[in-house]
Structure 1
Amino acid sequence: MAEIRLFFIFLGSIGFDLLIGDPRYLIHPVQIIGFYIKKISDYFINNFRGNKKLLLWGGFILALSTIGISFSFGKLIELSYIQSKNNFFSGFLIFLGLSSCLATKGLISSVKEIAELLEKKEFDKRNERIIKEKVQRIVSRDVSSSSKEHLLRSTTESLTENSVDGIFGPLFWIFIGIILMKFSIFLPGPLSLGFTYKAVSTLDSMIGYKYDYFRYLGFMSAKIEDGFTFIPSRLVLITLPIVSFNFKDYLLIIKKSFLDGKKYESPNSGISEAVFAYIAGIKLGGKSKYKNETIEKPIINENGAICTRKKIKLICQLILKLQFLWIIIFILIFFIIPF
């Protein structure tokens, strides 16, 4: 019955993430993963930046080693917990580990704070600098010369995309891990798959770019992330309209979101941004600056309104409602459907 205990630990970790988030006094697993990625990627960049083939192989090695270490560490804790017959310390590590895989409170709190500052504070030089620093922490684009409207759009796009990477992606894979452990304790479990997904997501966010040497070093990481996020992003596409109670336009929203999302190079981020854009009635996409390069992203929901604090608040509410729906579905699948 180890999987039942793990399932309740999983539910508790969700509650902990919603109420507390990531405690600042604890080292976050992403910090450790990020430190490893930076050290190895810096080595390849500093020594082989002019060699495309070596950068590709370096990115392959970096991706596999990061994922392998993360998976193995999670699996070791799972086996320790099960084989020690409910050891409290191992169970507590799983609890904290699963909570660290989720980013609901951190993501929602940060974007709400930015939205409040943008709409309530005077946009003078001092406040502008503070706001841009906060926005820069959650986006990969350069916002140093962004207008107030562009800062709101950047924040909204980060929120809609990262809701999958930081919340629904890990939720999906953690649940898959719990189901797999119903068959064998030696199969991938919730913590090993949760850590794996965080490793994949961190790799993509740190080196999965399409410019300079990252185009080669981060190629493998970006492709792996596309694969891991493919199903969760499409589950968001078909379940988000349900919590918006827009049943009349359910199929139309899905169709429009899918068609607009397909315009993006990424097979996942465009779709997740599009479904939120259509339900919230906002327009996303357009020009964004990455280092010294300006990229024109495809427009999503051409007739939508501009991004505002009110729209960001609505999207945050939709994310929480959708997370609640997913938990209900997971509980039903786990306890009703026999495996």
Structure 2
Amino acid sequence: MQPLLSNPLLLVALACGLDRLVGDPRWCPHPVVVMGWWITLLRRGAEAWAGTRAWKLRLAGGLITLVLVGGSGLAGWGVEQLAPTPLLVVALASALAGRSLEQAVLQVLKALPDSVHTVQKQPGQALQPARQALAWIVGRDTADLDAPEILRAAAETASENAVDGLFAPLFWMLLGAGIWSLNPALPGPLALAWGFKAASTLDSMLGYRRGRLRWLGTAGARLDDLLVWLPCRLVALGLPLTAGQPGHCFSLLAAALRDGAADPSPNAGVSQAAYAHAAGVQLGGCNRYGGQLTSKPLLAQGLPAPDGAAVRHMLELSRRLELVWLATAAVLAFITKTLS
């Protein structure tokens, strides 16, 4: 076995560093894009077979989920067993979205005018670059958002996608590293991380409550909710450490669970609420999706609205928490090795 492969936790740490250093290069084909191609192909076949019959669409959705998640996990397992170490590190980094999320959010902040006078004088033109940058990373309508709403949207996507795009895949990666350290022949960090990314991509593409997707996307959406559930709550528990409030870990977790309970998603509201309390801002409110007004629960109600500094603080909290997770995993690995 190659020296690095005997220390899977070091591989994960190198992947985190690579993700923070280069992010997702646009010239390199991304595994999620390949997963998206397969989802599109499988969806066409499923809809052609099932038509509008709900039970057939549910069955097809379950089969698509099984094929995509299982296939992605097996592909990751194959890379673990056959690929050289540098390629394995690159593949692991592809499952993380720390830098790409941070860059996308910062792009929105950079596009906002520095001067309130500019916004008042030319409201439409002044905010258009920020609205366009925001539209790439959120599902809500952005064409008519004012500056405070743009900042709230940036804060909410920074908090929700930190869990979906960084901490959930990192959790499964670390768990796979632990399994691999016990037996390198078993599926390890890449197999679990790519399996999770497949479920997450299914939820992103099919997890909508409209038309045929109401039934076709159920299995993928439920699996994604399940796989994100524990990482989301671990993030809420750990954020006070990175925010300089180590004595408030359990109280912040309780507040995040309480505020996020009203959200239709079992995880999105909790993750946003955790960051809202940690950063000291209020999130939630009314959003438009496809022209339809949707009311979201208020999170950390009564605190100030997020400004640019608060959004940057959220991104910094994610960077610190990533290091905390890696350090904690290293300590647990050391204790386990010492006791064995």
- 1:24 equivalent in structure 2: 26
Query: Is the contact between residue 283 and residue 299 of structure 1 (CA under 8 Å) also seen in structure 2?
Result: yes
Q: Could you tell me how far 1:102 is from its partner in structure 2?
A: 0.7
SS at match of 2:285: strand
In 2, Cα distance between the equivalents of 1:319 and 1:292? Answer: 32
Instruction: Assess if the C-alpha contact under 8 Å between 1:274 and 1:300 holds in 2.
Output: yes
Segment of structure 1 superposing worse, 47-56 or 210-219: 47-56
Give 1:27-66 correspondences, 5 Å limit.
27-45=29-47, 48=50, 50-66=52-68
Q: CA deviation at 1:47?
A: 6.9
1 CA distance for matches of 2:196 and 2:250? 30
1:282: how far off?
A: 1.3
Q: Which residue of 1 aligns with 2:161?
A: 162
| One of 80, 83, 103 as aligned partner of 2:82 | 80
Whole-Å separation in 1 of the counterparts to 2:149 and 2:58: 34
Distance 1:290 1:215 in 2: 17
Q: Is the 8 A contact 1:119 1:309 kept in 2?
A: no
Partner of 1:202 in structure 2? 201
Give the corresponding residue for 2:111: 117
CA distance in 2, matches of 1:10, 1:99: 8
C-alpha contact (below 8 Å) 1:116/1:309 kept by paired residues: no
Q: Distance in 1 between matches of 2:335 and 2:218?
A: 41
Structure 1 residues 301, 94: CA separation in 2 closer, same or farther (over 3 Å shift)?
A: same
**CA apart distance, 1:119:** 4.2
Distance 1:133 1:48, change over 3 A: farther
Contact 1:204-1:225 within 8 A present in 2 as well: yes
Q: Which aligned pairs between 1:92-171 and structure 2 lie closer than 5 A? A: 92-120=86-114, 122-123=118-119, 124=122, 125-171=124-170
The worse-fitting range, judged by mean Cα deviation, of 45-54 and 63-72 is 45-54
Q: Show structure 2 runs of 5+ residues with no match.
A: none
Q: Give the TM-score of the pair, scaled to structure 1.
A: 0.91
Structure 1 position 127, deviation (Å): 4.9
Q: More deviation in 2-11 or 253-262?
A: 2-11
Q: Which residue of structure 1 aligns with residue 17 of structure 2?
A: 15
Give the RMSD, CA atoms, in angstroms.
Answer: 2.0
Preserved contact between residue 176 and residue 190 of structure 1 (Cα < 8 Å): yes
- 1:80-105 CA-to-partner distances (Å, cap 9, x unmatched) read 24xxxxxxxx2222111101111111
CA distance in 1, matches of 2:58, 2:80: 33
- After superposition, give the CA deviation of every residue in 1:129-170 in whole Å (9 maximum; x if it has no partner): 432222121112222333322222122111101101111111
Task: Note the C-alpha offset of 1:46.
Answer: 6.7
CA 295–254 in structure 1, closer or farther in 2 if over 3 Å, else same:
same
Mean alpha-carbon deviation: is it higher for 213-222 or for 169-178?
213-222
Q: Taking structure 1 as reference, are residues 52 and 162 closer, same or farther at Cα in structure 2, changes over 3 Å only?
A: same
Note the alpha carbon deviations across 1:292-339, whole angstroms, 9 max, x for none: 432211111110211211110110111111111111101111223235
- Give the Cα–Cα distance (whole angstroms) in 2 for the partners of residues 315 and 51 of structure 1: 44
SS in structure 2 at match of 1:162: helix
Q: State the alpha-carbon separation in 2 of the partners of residues 11 and 303 from structure 1.
A: 38
Range moving further from structure 2, 129-138 or 232-241: 129-138
Cα distance in structure 1, aligned partners of 2:135 and 2:64: 26
Question: Could you tell me the TM-score, scaled by structure 2's length?
Answer: 0.91
Letter in 2 for 1:168: F
Which one is further off, 14-23 or 177-186?
Answer: 177-186
When the two structures are aligned, how many residues end up with a matched partner?
331
